[in-house]
Structure 1
Amino acid sequence: MPTGESSIPISLIRDAAEALLKRPGARICPEGNQRPIEGLSTEYCATVYVAGTREALSWRVTQPVKGSHDSCSPLLDVEDDDYPSSHVWVVGYLHNHPCATAPSSRDLAAWPTDSFNPYVAMAEVRLIPGNPAPAFHGHTSIEMASVVVAERQDGARIYLRYFPTGEIQQWSESRATWIRVGRCSPRDRSRLGNKPVCDEPLRVFAE
């Protein structure tokens, strides 16, 4: 693990995205209404975790799980081949959106912790997974984060990383860094729709 890397690195995201987007239905999206097609479009999701010790910690991803055209339920528990559960910390989830949409309310509410209720309020600060002790690499704490990956009609890929605080970032290839594009929270369960509530329209960009 690179020194100072506190959240899901782009190298891991690229490798996982390559595997997800090759699966049947992962990129099927009609050009007209840009909405996933039930029975054809498919979301796949994987669980992102770190395993090892404070001195030697590595990023890992589970095998993808197949979902439906508009949702996917990742594995909540992870069994690692090299380390016992006491040395494994689930960080978040990674999944594709066939129509290159931003994180949904359902996405923003799914976290491997019961320490807060995102339907009431997002976390005030970025959270650190605990098992039961927090996940650290040296003196760097590992942050919870999840990712949405997608491929647009022109073949360009979009990587959106988001946190329990509601902050959403997009990877910029030209700048080689993460750019903040907005902050959103899940829509109240009693309200229809799966579109999140955002402080302002998300500024997802094309390069």
Structure 2
Amino acid sequence: MPTGDTSIPIGLIRDVADALLKRPGAKVCEPSTQRPIVGLSTEYCSTIYVAGDRETLSWRVTEPVKGTHKSCEASFSVKDDDYPASQVWVVGYVHNHPCGAPPSPLDLSVWPTDAFKPYVAMAEVRLIPGNPAPAVHTKTAIEMASALVAERQDGSRIFLRYFPTGEIQQWIKKKSAWVTLDFCSPPEASSFARTLQCRQGALRLLRE
């Protein structure tokens, strides 16, 4: 730290993408349907955390965990060899989508949008609702986020970042900046919908 960003920096996401996308099945996708192949396509996920104190926080990442063709589960807690648990904060997750699809309803439900009504109210800040001790660098709180990485058939890569507020951002290389796509939430628990509920309708990724 600092990186010029209060959430998972693009440099870290790129480094993790390089590692995840080299794993077996991480880029396997059925060309005609653009859907993952059961038994071949594989999602991998890592936990992003910061460790240290207010003046010396550093970004860190766990070894990838292997999932299935459609999901994987990173750890909600980590053990760091350099710092005690009181100086370790989980601040996000990063995983791959073999077919470059946007975040799924399951992805967005990892961070509860509200501690008591997770499918009703959106958090007003990019921090875990009710988190008693957020990670702080000097005077700046580290914002919780998850990231998604994928590689298209043409070799270009997609980098997405999404927050407990439901805000979904895409990294645009030409602008060298994160661009907000929309604010979305998972469907209500009683709903049969399989897509995100977004303010502007269906979520659309940008092409460069």
TM range (shorter): over 0.9
Partner of 1:58: 58
Mark the CA change 1:95 to 1:28 in structure 2 (over 3 Å): closer, same or farther: same
Q: Is residue 88–residue 131 contact of structure 1 (8 Å, CA) maintained in 2?
A: no
Letter of the aligned partner of 1:108 in structure 2? L
Q: For 1:194, what is the secondary structure of its paired residue?
A: coil
TM-score (norm 2): 0.93
Paired residue for 1:161? 161
Change (3 A) 1:13 1:130: farther
SS of residue paired to 2:124 = coil
> How far, CA to CA, are the matches of 2:10 and 2:159 in structure 1?
8
For the Cα contact (< 8 Å) 2:168–2:180, is it kept in 1? yes
Kept in 2: contact 1:86–1:131 (CA 8 A): no
CA distance in 2, matches of 1:132, 1:56: 21
Q: TM-score, normalised by structure 1?
A: 0.93
Deviation (angstroms), 1:134: 2.2
Q: Name the count of aligned residue pairs.
A: 207
Q: Is the 8 A contact 1:4 1:140 kept in 2?
A: no
| Aligned-pair Cα RMSD in Å | 1.9
Which consecutive residues of structure 1, in runs of 5 or more, have no partner in the other structure?
Answer: none
- 1:171 aligns with 171
Per-residue Cα deviation, 1:121-171 (whole angstroms, up to 9, x for no partner): 221221168874221111111000000110011010000000000000000
In structure 1, distance between residues paired with 2:137 and 2:93: 20
C-alpha distance after superposition, 1:174-201 (max 9, x if no partner): 1101001111100122323532111113
Aligned partner of 2:206 in structure 1 is 205
Q: Distance in 2 between matches of 1:96 and 1:3?
A: 23
CA contact (8 A) 1:129 1:143 kept: no
Instruction: Show structure 2 runs of 5+ residues with no match.
Output: none
Distance 1:121 1:57, change over 3 A: same
Mark the CA change 1:116 to 1:56 in structure 2 (over 3 Å): closer, same or farther. Answer: farther
1:74 aligns with 2:74: yes
Calculate percent identity across the aligned residue pairs.
65
Q: Distance in 1 between matches of 2:154 and 2:61?
A: 27
Match of 1:90 in 2: 90
Moved more, 194-203 or 55-64: 194-203
Residue 204 of structure 1 deviates from its aligned partner by 1.1
Whether the 8 Å contact between 1:128 and 1:141 is mirrored in structure 2 is no
State how far apart, in whole Å, the 1-side matches of 2:73 and 2:161 are. 18
